[in-house]
Chains A and B, each alone.
Chain A
Amino acid sequence: MKMKKLRADVLALLFLLPFLIVYCLFTIWPMVKGVQMTFYKWTLIKKMGYIGWDNYRNVIHDKEVWQALWHSAIFVVLSTPTMIVLGILLALIANRKSVLQKFYRSIFFIPSILSVAVASYLGLFVFQPYTGLVNSALHLVHILPENTEIFWLTETGLAWITVTLVTLWWTVGFNFILYLSAMQEIPDEVYEASKLDGANDNQIFWRITIPYLAPITKMITMLQIIASFKVFMQIYIITGGGPLDKTRPIIQLIYQTGFKKNNLGYAATMSYVLFIVLLVLSALQYWINNRKRGDL
């Protein structure tokens, strides 16, 4: 639109002002404030002494921090590929014309809108030994002998699988929707042409559908990696970070350090380590997405 320079500047500022105020006060300012906090011994009550680089030195040598980062990374590795494969599978199911089409679309997405607490507790109950749904079902079909139980929540490997399965159930709906809308954009002619050329279902899936989904897969992969890296609530409810802190992710460690051990300065330092990891991942995402396209 055409308008006078100065007037445009003032108007733009007025329109941006509400956003800028909140953004600066609660995103930018904490970012800066956090840097200050990393140089202090800082408790919930007040700022204590200046300690220079001690927090940073300690973080680098803190085995708990690396272990918690590692746990978050394990969760990324477990959840990202399964989220993608399951997302595609569910989209394939709901994309096919059938009387149940609308039902499929709803049922695959509904868990995603449950409150995180509800989803986590349902998961916790489903995988309980003795009274949980999974073990009961396994007993019922005699895969699991009577009077034996699988301890889904208290053995490290199984606890990871449990948390991943619950998270899949709870959040795969978002990926499912993204894949479904991408699939619906593939032109029918492409399928018809390949059918005329004698391609079978298998070939059509691998040679047409999957390549068409490549851009959305790239996007989902990166969003998923970053989202999974920030995991906290499900693990907090389902395993509490146990057994023996073996599933405790970095966010939980930051929370415990700040609020249970009363050391906000050190917790802030940890969160900058997390920030750097996420920044590297985001930069990677930007690089991958823009390797071929020149635009922003």
Chain B
Amino acid sequence: MKWLYRIVSVAMAFLFAIPLIWMLVVSIKQEGMKIITVLDWFKPPFSFAVYHEILTGTKLTNWMGNSILVAVIVMVLTVIIAAMAGFALSKIPFRYKTFMFFLVLAGLLIPGEATIIPLYQVAKDMHLLNSYRGIIIPALASPIAVIVLKSFFDGIPNDLLESIQMDGGGIWKIFTRIVLPLTRPALASMAILTFIGSWNNFLWPFLSITNDNLFTLPMGIPTLMSQYSEDYVKPMVVNAIASVPIIVLFVIFEKQIVKGISMSGIKG
């Protein structure tokens, strides 16, 4: 039983890793070399020449910069906006609170995919097409982030906040000095999930951006791939350049990512 378990484990790990290993091995081959069987992998020569070529001769790094820029801005603003809204829903007693909560909750039922066509028209009317503002701003309203953060704020005892209030602390001070620091892990996890979400966002940028200087990575890669037909070396270099930084980020932030997923149940 135990050995069966081990074999299955190693086999699964191998299956998950093999496309990535293949990508890296092929990416350091020379162009025009036959790489058909697995045995061909280990035949030299190896070289990083194509990396140099792709990095300097295409817009790939430019697109990656765009993707990172957009994802970072979306991440920061989404968390700020959602935390503010979540705080109001959790800690401020006001009229129409239930109504507001259900309004946010309703947003969970509206899939972005179903409003994508009218969103295009709305963005066009507002002159947001072909601009970063046009990709960033519509992404900022995240009902799931509001709901998750609200539930974390709910866990902070009201007594604590009231005692601060007695001491003359304003509501903004309570929010920034007490509530946000106390929920830092939740905020960090939400930030990382938002980053991954934006990093992978394809449909909306694909529809709203036509200027290839403004492309994000998922839009740019297909346009490059369609130019390469000789062998896999160039495509694999493109894939490798696009994925190695994000894998490094993952290794650094693994703990927060794992925590973020398990607490919010967000499906990517």
Which chain A residues have a beta carbon within 8 Å of chain B's beta carbons? 1-3, 5, 8-9, 11-13, 15-16, 18-20, 22-23, 25-27, 29-31, 33-34, 37, 42, 89-90, 93, 96, 98, 100, 103-118, 121-123, 125-126, 130-131, 133, 136-137, 139-140, 169, 171, 174, 177-178, 180-182, 201, 219-220, 223-224, 226-227, 230, 232-233, 237, 251, 254-255, 258-259, 264, 267-268, 271-272, 274-275, 278-279, 282
Min CB distance, A136 to chain B, in Å?
A: 5
Min CB distance, B64 to chain A, in Å?
A: 9
Measured CA separation A285–B15 after assembly (Å): 33
Known: A22-B138, A110-B247, A282-B109. A1 touches B115 (CB 8 A): no
Q: Which residues of B from 20 to 58 have beta carbons under 8 Å from A?
A: 20, 22-23, 35-39
Contact of B109 with A30 in the complex, beta carbons under 8 Å: no
B107 CB–A CB distance under 8 Å: yes
Chain B residues with CB under 8 Å of A133's CB are: 18-19, 22, 38
Chain A residues with CB under 8 Å of B9's CB are: 93, 96, 98, 100, 104
Chain A residues with CB under 8 Å of B104's CB are: 19, 23
B158 CB–A CB distance under 8 Å: yes
B213 CB–A CB distance under 8 Å: no
Min CB distance, B120 to chain A, in Å?
A: 7
Chain B residues with CB under 8 Å of A271's CB are: 113-117
Q: Which residue of B lies closest to A267 (CB)?
A: B117
Q: 1/0 per residue B119-150: CB within 8 Å of A?
A: 11110000000000000011011010010000
Contact of B137 with A22 in the complex, beta carbons under 8 Å: yes
Contact of B246 with A125 in the complex, beta carbons under 8 Å: no
- Please pick, from B15, B94, B242, the residue contacting A12 in the complex, using a CB distance under 8 A: B94
Min CB distance, B126 to chain A, in Å?
A: 8
Chain B residues with CB under 8 Å of A224's CB are: 267
Contact of B114 with A275 in the complex, beta carbons under 8 Å: yes
Contact of B117 with A258 in the complex, beta carbons under 8 Å: yes
Contact of A136 with B100 in the complex, beta carbons under 8 Å: no
Known: A111-B16, A115-B199, A219-B265. A33 touches B82 (CB 8 A): no
